[in-house]
Structure 1
C-alpha cells in the first residue's frame, strides 16, 4: 500500500492535498523492527518522528529501581515522537517495539523543508498535537488522582467504547503491558480483575473480558463505589 494513501486516512494529516501528502511520503524512510527492539532512548536527540504502519510500539520511562512505567501504546496509523521534533530537543522517554512492527520515519530536516514550502502542514500537525496533549493530560490525572480499580474500570469502559460499545472483547495488550499502562503491578491488576469478577462487574477468560454490569463499572470508574 502506498504511503500517501496511509497518510490521507490519518487525522494527523487531515485536510492536506495529494501534493502535500506526496511531499511527506517522499521524505519518509521505512523501518522494520523486531519485538523488543529499541527505537530510541530517553534523552537521545529527536532527529525525526514516526508513524506505525503495522505492529505496536510502547513509550515508557524507567524508575531508579528499574520499574517500567508505560506512558502509551501506539498502533497502526498512529504517530509518536513529533512533539520533541518541533521543540528541537531530545526524546523525553524510551520507545520499544512490543511486537514485530513496520514504521515510517520522517527526518526533522526534511519535515521542516516541507513546512517551509507549505505552512498549512504545520497547522495540521499542531492541531493533532493539541488533541494528543489533552489525552495525556487526562492520563496523568487518572494516574495521580485515581486508585487502580478506578483506572482499570475507566480503561475497560474506554476499550468497550472504542470497539463500538461491545460488552465482550479481547484485550489488545498483555496483562503485563496493561499493568504498566495503568501504573500498577501485574499482581495488583490480577487481584483487581478478580475482585471485579467476584462483584459481578465483569467476567474474565484469559484476555477476553465481558462487562456484566456496565452501570456498576461506570460507578467504580467515577469513584462512587469501591471494591
Structure 2
C-alpha cells in the first residue's frame, strides 16, 4: 500500500530499544480495520491494547450517568490510542470511550506485549508516561472549557474545529451532533446557533451549517 506507515514510525525511540523488544512488537502487532460508528469501550469491555492510527479518525468521549456525552479529543493519522490499553494500568478507573468517525485503519499492540516491553524498556515506559500526561492534559482542558467558558464561545470553537476537519466552510453536521459533542442540550445549541445566525456568522440548513465569518467565530472561540 502506497506510503504505508511502519509500526516503527510511531516510536521516535525505536532504534534505542533492544532488538528483542522491536522484534516482539513487530511479530505480535495486528492490523485492524474499524468501521464508522463502532464504539470502543463502554459495553465493549475488551482490552485492545495500544492502538496506532494509520489513517482515519477516532473521537474520544465520556458519558455521564444520565447518558450525556462530552467529546474530549480526536485521534488522527500517526496518533496513539493509549486508553484502549487501560487494563494494563493499575487503578485506572477513568473510562473513556471511542467512536470511529470514519473508516479507520490501526495497528494493535496487544496488552500483554505492551506490558512486557513497558516493564523492561525505559524508553517505552517513559513514552507511555508522557503520552498519558498529554492525554490527561487534553481532558482537563476540555473540562475547563465546559466549566468556565460561555456556550457561544464553546460552540464557536466546535465549529472552528469541524471546519478544520472537513477543510470546508460548509459543515455536514446536525444540531444533535454538536450538542452531543459539547455535552449540552440540543435546544440550547439550536438557540445559540440562531444567535450566531442573527449576527451573520453562520448560515443554517438541514443537516449542515455554513460558516460566513470565520474571523468573527475565531475571535469568539478564543475570548476569555
**TM-score, normalised relative to structure 1:** 0.71
1:14 alignment partner, one of 12, 17, 31 = 12
CA RMSD of aligned residues (A): 3.7
Task: Summarize deviations over 1:162-197 as a string: whole Å, max 9, x none.
Answer: 57xx8x535486554332221223343333233213
Alignment of 1:129 onto 2:127: no
Task: Name the counterpart of 2:89.
Answer: 87
2:115 alignment partner, one of 108, 112, 120 = 112
Task: Name the counterpart of 1:34.
Answer: 35
- Deviation at 1:126? 2.3
Q: CA 1:5 to 1:99, structure 2 compared with 1: closer, same or farther past 3 Å? A: closer
Conserved 8 A contact 2:72-2:138: no
Q: What are the ranges of 5 or more consecutive residues in structure 1 without an aligned counterpart?
A: none
- Deviation at 1:141? 0.2
- What aligned pairs does 1:103-182 form with structure 2 within 5 A after superposition? 103-158=106-161, 169-171=169-171, 175-182=175-182
Q: CA 1:211 to 1:123, structure 2 compared with 1: closer, same or farther past 3 Å? A: farther
Q: What are the ranges of 5 or more consecutive residues in structure 2 without an aligned counterpart?
A: none
- Deviation at 1:140? 0.6
- Deviation at 1:121? 2.0
Task: Name the counterpart of 2:52.
Answer: 51
**TM-score, normalised relative to structure 2:** 0.72
Task: Summarize deviations over 1:137-171 as a string: whole Å, max 9, x none.
Answer: 111100122232111123344566x57xx8x5354
Structure 2 Cα separation of the partners of residues 46 and 156 of structure 1: 33
Structure 2 Cα separation of the partners of residues 100 and 135 of structure 1: 24
